[in-house]
Amino acid sequence: MRISNENLVKLLVSKGIITSDDLAAGGKLNPVQAERFIDFVIDITGLGKMTRVVRFRNEQLLIDKIGVGARVTVPAQEAKDPSVRRGVNTSQVVLQPVELMTPFEVSDTFSDHNIEGENVQDTIVRMMATQTGNDIEELLITADILGEAKLESDLLEGGSATDYIKDSFLGLIAGWLRLADSGNVVDLEGASISANVFSRMLNTMPIKFRRDRARLRFVCSPDLEQLFRERISTRATSMGDMALTEAGNIRVFGVEIVPVPIFPFQPPVVEHVVLTGTTPVSLRYSNIVEGSVVVTISTLGSTPEAAFLETTDYTIDEVTGVITRVGGGGITSGQTVKVTYKAPPQMLLTHMDNMITAIGRDIRVERDRDIFARLNQWAISTKVDAEFEELTAVVKGFNIAAAL
């Protein structure tokens, strides 16, 4: 039976996994604690039944793959060697996990005046552990090594509400949405979510990977799943009744639809493009969400920078996804710029365990004391990476309408 997040937190507390009193000076969790902490993080992400969790201790993780990609059977003749031999294909999936840290602190004054007293620190540790799981899910799904441009105020308290910095967290790795661009992709041409959308994605997947539909999963945002649920709820059938009254996952063409809480409805996209003269440049996606385009220097980092101005420095056709430099503006001809925008809804189709989450066993939950500031400091540290074991077993459907 699947344990709820609330009960899992209570279990972790009762086992002494994430309480402040049990944090040793070194902070490194013992093997049992680490395994339970990883289970906790994966459970709260909603990806527990979809992703293959690989636990590691090395700096780099290699997963061996073996498969047969072509015909291996030949005609046989009595008492005669066929003179051919077939082999298997071997390769490796390489994961290079990146280090993550969740730093936070609690002052003595806050603890003294809080209704929970000193117990509030354990509550905060559990809350931070939960948020760490949510942050890891966001990283695994939406990360792009180019790093989005975001308002400084969106990432840092007291930051500028007009200037932009690079989201260095989501620039650590390439997440599954970005990795899927190298798999099988299908432009759904602005179609509303329907049986036809799912059928086109299924038909895009190589036949050898869709034979066992019981192991296939459509992965999408809860909002996109809700649109499909709304569509079929009007049907005078048992499936329509189920969509309207029950919370269980829906199946279409025998494949389960899995809505993942932090899977974005209109996913962020970042590209580096070269704008030369006034030659139009096509971005990866069309039907861009109106007003979501931000154009900055490609070398954007932690120093706040003003964005280039639409109509003054560039023009954007959001319907066709075409950007054009404006002569005489602030963008030099031949300059590479960072273009951040929101794309229409997307969905992934793959089989269970093809999505790999690499997470380090050497997890640290460390505590220290600043006696002068009169506060306790914590840091939750781990390493993660994302990958697909088999990219040819992935279909990415994009350009889905945001409404019925």
Please report whether residue 292 resides in a domain.
Answer: yes
My answer on whether 124 and 24 are in the same domain is yes
My answer on whether 379 and 296 are in the same domain is no
Residue 341: φ, ψ to 5°: -160, 170
My answer on whether 34 and 99 are in the same domain is yes
Contact in structure between 352 and 215 (CB atoms under 8 Å):
yes
Name the nearest CA neighbour of 41 among 109, 136, 124: 136
- How confident is the model at residue 115, as a pLDDT? 56
> Token digits for 187?
């432009």
Contact in structure between 120 and 114 (CB atoms under 8 Å):
yes
For 137, other C-beta atoms within 10 Å of its C-beta total: 23
CA angle 42, 152, 372 (to 5 degrees): 80
Please report whether residue 314 resides in a domain.
Answer: yes
Please report whether residue 110 resides in a domain.
Answer: yes
Name beta bridge partners: 272. 338
- How confident is the model at residue 4, as a pLDDT? 41
Please report whether residue 185 resides in a domain.
Answer: no
Please report whether residue 358 resides in a domain.
Answer: yes
- How confident is the model at residue 279, as a pLDDT? 98
- How confident is the model at residue 89, as a pLDDT? 57
Domains in the chain, number: 2
My answer on whether 319 and 367 are in the same domain is no
My answer on whether 320 and 291 are in the same domain is yes
My answer on whether 47 and 107 are in the same domain is yes
Name the nearest CA neighbour of 385 among 54, 2, 42, 68: 54
My answer on whether 338 and 364 are in the same domain is no
My answer on whether 303 and 371 are in the same domain is no
Residue 183's SS3 state is: coil
My answer on whether 36 and 115 are in the same domain is yes
My answer on whether 41 and 142 are in the same domain is yes
Q: Which residues of 291-316 are buried (b: 16+ CB within 10 A; e: fewer)?
A: eebbbbbbebeeebbebbeeeebbeb
Contact in structure between 260 and 221 (CB atoms under 8 Å):
yes
Please report whether residue 52 resides in a domain.
Answer: yes
Contact in structure between 190 and 287 (CB atoms under 8 Å):
yes
Contact in structure between 336 and 212 (CB atoms under 8 Å):
no
- How confident is the model at residue 243, as a pLDDT? 82
C-alpha neighbours within 13 Å on the C-beta side of residue 322:
9
Name the nearest CA neighbour of 404 among 201, 226, 265: 226
Please report whether residue 313 resides in a domain.
Answer: yes
My answer on whether 298 and 372 are in the same domain is no
My answer on whether 40 and 137 are in the same domain is yes
Q: Angle, to 10 degrees, between the axis of helix 120-142 and the axis of helix 31-45?
A: 60
Choose the final residue of a domain: 342, 374, 397.
342
User: Domain with 380 in it: what CATH number?
Assistant: 3.30.2400
Please report whether residue 199 resides in a domain.
Answer: no
Output the tens digit of pLDDT for each of the chain's 404 residues.
344 444 444 444 444 444 444 443 445 666 776 777 777 667 766 666 678 888 877 666 666 655 445 565 667 777 777 776 655 455 677 778 898 988 888 777 766 766 555 667 677 777 777 788 889 889 999 999 999 999 999 999 999 999 999 999 999 999 999 999 999 999 999 999 999 999 999 999 999 898 889 999 999 999 999 999 999 998 878 778 778 888 889 999 999 999 998 999 999 999 999 999 999 999 999 999 999 999 999 999 999 999 999 999 999 999 999 999 999 999 999 999 999 999 999 999 999 889 998 888 777 777 788 888 888 787 878 889 999 999 999 999 999 999 99
Question: Domain range for residue 107?
Answer: 5-61+95-148+352-387
C-alpha neighbours within 13 Å on the C-beta side of residue 29:
25
